[in-house]
Structure 1
Amino acid sequence: MGRKKVTIVGSGNVGATTAHWIAAKELADVVLLDVIEGVPQGKGLDLLEAMPIEKRDCSIIGTNEYADTKDSDVVVITAGIARKPGMSRDDLLNTNFKIMSDVVSKVVAQSPNTILVIVSNPLDAMAQTAFKQAGLPRERVIGMAGVLDSARFRTFIADELKVSVENVTAFVLGGHGDTMVPLSRYSTVAGIPITELIPADRLKELETRTANGGAEIVKHLKTGSAYYAPSAAATEMVEAILKDKKKILPCAAYLQGEYGISGLYVGVPCKLGAKGLEQIIEIKLTADEQAALNRSADAVKELCSVIGMA
């Protein structure tokens, strides 16, 4: 058994930082792929030269050739244009649709048994695109959104209550965007529901801040979007798959009747292991929560229709 192999498509901030986290955890050998000549090679070599200091044995290469990605266990796709201030995730739709379609066909040709983790925005529509274009079973095409959204929610809850982030579990369902559904009822601090600890009006503010978490960072940065937390979130999913952890994480998955939704990528609790998506966990929702999830699904469906992927 050689080391596992992970390809990251896109060597911008999210892709390169994902490579960094994966190498730092010694999870796999990494191939950093980009269309731009020199950038993945330079970043890959730089990261490789950090390994003796970090005492980690993994090979990292940068490339412009899909042939180098052959037989990847997992492929993380971050390629696409990033958001700028005033842009919604949806403004990226048509450009990133073309990029995603091209990338997926080339990746799957080299690694037919791979598991795809989709990070490009608008997330749910890009996961839907990857799934339809790849011809892989739904278990092997998963979108990264909920891990990031719930991490943002956990950050705000921990800060509000001045407790360790380790004590906070948060739950976020739905599409990755303004319609996401932070579920406070299922979010806990050391097992105690946060609805018992934070007044309802204040909780609403934290939920709203979570839904706008990406835009808040874009506004600060002005020339790009978040990448430390998104890449850490993608890495948590990759780790769960490579180590067969059976870890339950909120991810975008292709629903076939779960939560009353069919034929669409929407964020739900997923068990991740060596086969990819191993189970979708269905939890009971209140009428209001279900209505919010349906609204979120409708927003995703609308985007998918625009690119002919609904």
Structure 2
Amino acid sequence: MKVTVIGAGNVGATVAECVARKDMVKEVVLVDIVEGLPQGKALDMQEAAPIHGYDTRIIGTNDYKDTEGSDICVITAGSPRKPGMSRDDLLAINAKIVRSVTEQFVKGSPNAIIIVVSNPLDVMTYVAYKTSGFPSHRVMGMAGVLDTARFRTFIALELGVSVRDVQALLMGGHGDSMVPLPRYATVSGIPITQLLSREKIDAIVERTKFGGGEIVKLMGTSAWYAPGAAAAEMVEAIVKDSKRILPCAAYVNGQYGLKDLFIGVPVRLGRKGVEEIIEVELNEEERKLLEASAEHVRKGIQDLERVETNAG
């Protein structure tokens, strides 16, 4: 199989390296508009192959012709928010980028599956879906895998246990409106509600919600190791047709009472993409939080449409 990663920045390069190191696809193509950047990073990764022991071929390019025939595409391209830039500015800029790269990619890979990582995640996934014309099961966003990984990390650190024994579920939009679900978090099957006080659980939930912001405050830029690894885990589930149950930004059409938007929900991932959206039982409080998160995502879509209408 062939995987394309659009955007050779920190996140895109990490996705490419993580996919290559899993040694599960024949070729990874790293594409970027900056001349020399994807070529240099790809060559560096290729030279690490004998050390890590993978045979994946890694190609860096500025030409979408090299992406033709891809099975999976991970879109990481986009602009970070800069001083003086409004949320509307960021929406408009990144929507233009995501729309452009999607149009260029799908011409040569009409049967691919698209995973969006660009922010604002849920809205950009919607943009890629509308632009590509692909069926909804072949377009999804990476957010829940990352946010759940952070949730699981903080639980493991608090309890002093292996992260491999911690499972958790998180839903909703990517950002402050996400909905961690402590009732569904367990350590080797033991609910964390039996292992941690309500105060400690609430603190972990809050830290999870602002996990990305915590990293930005520390080093002045967004994370890339965990987001890159999270996208690569989704790629692996699709390539291996492993039917993993993972939280992803998927297109809802009636599930959870929500329609016509992308939002984080548990899905079964396989060779066809999103093969099923799994509806778990939510209590009244959890459902209200999910609906509020969905409204936040819907407002983002409406804001983008308003900005683009005014610009046009």
Q: What's the TM-score, normalizing by structure 2?
A: 0.95
1:256 paired with 2:256, answer no
2: CA distance between counterparts of 1:123 and 1:161?
Answer: 31
Cα distance in 1 for partners of 2:177, 2:305 equals 21
Alignment of 1:220-235 (within 5 A): 220-222=218-220, 224-235=221-232
1:15 and 1:231 in contact (8 A); partners too? yes
- Aligned-pair identity in percent equals 56
Please report how far the alpha carbon of residue 195 of structure 1 lies from its aligned counterpart in structure 2 after TM superposition. Answer: 1.0
User: Is 2:29 aligned against 1:23?
Assistant: no
* C-alpha separation in 1, matches of 2:199 and 2:272: 41
* Residue 101 of structure 1, CA deviation: 0.5
1:136 aligns with 2:101: no
1:119 to 94, 117, 120: 117
| Per-residue deviation, residues 98-122 of structure 1 (Å, max 9, x unmatched) | 0001011111111000000000000
Query: Which residue in 1 is equivalent to 2:278?
Result: 281
Following the alignment from structure 1 to structure 2, what is the Cα–Cα distance between the partners of residues 53 and 72?
26
Q: Out of 235, 238, 243, which is 1:238 matched to?
A: 235
In angstroms, what is the RMSD of aligned CA positions? 1.5
- TM-superposed CA distance for 1:308, in Å, is 2.1
Unpaired runs of 5+ in structure 1? Answer: none
Q: Distance in 1 between matches of 2:296 and 2:240?
A: 34
State whether residues 89 and 122 of structure 1, in contact with CA within 8 Å, keep that contact through their aligned partners in structure 2.
Answer: no
Task: Give the CA deviation at 1:221.
Answer: 1.1
Matched, 1:82 2:73: no
Q: Distance in 2 between matches of 1:92 and 1:201?
A: 36
1:88 offset after TM fit, Å? 8.9
Please list the CA deviations of residues 231-277 of structure 1 after superposition, one character each: whole Å capped at 9, or x if unmatched. Answer: 00000000000000000000000100000000010100010000000
Give the aligned length: 305
What residue number does 2:310 align with? Answer: none
Per the alignment, residue 10 of structure 2 pairs with: 13
Pick the aligned partner of 1:267 from 255, 264, 267.
264
Please identify runs of 4+ aligned residues in structure 1 that moved more than 2 A: 82-92
CA shift, 1:92, in A, is 2.7
Query: Shift of the alpha carbon at 1:55?
Result: 1.8
8 Å Cα contact 2:88/2:304 also seen in 1? no
Deviation at 1:86, TM superposition (A): 9.6
Q: Is the 8 A contact 1:147 1:250 kept in 2?
A: yes
Deviation of 1:307 after TM superposition, in Å, equals: 1.6
Change (3 A) 1:196 1:88: farther
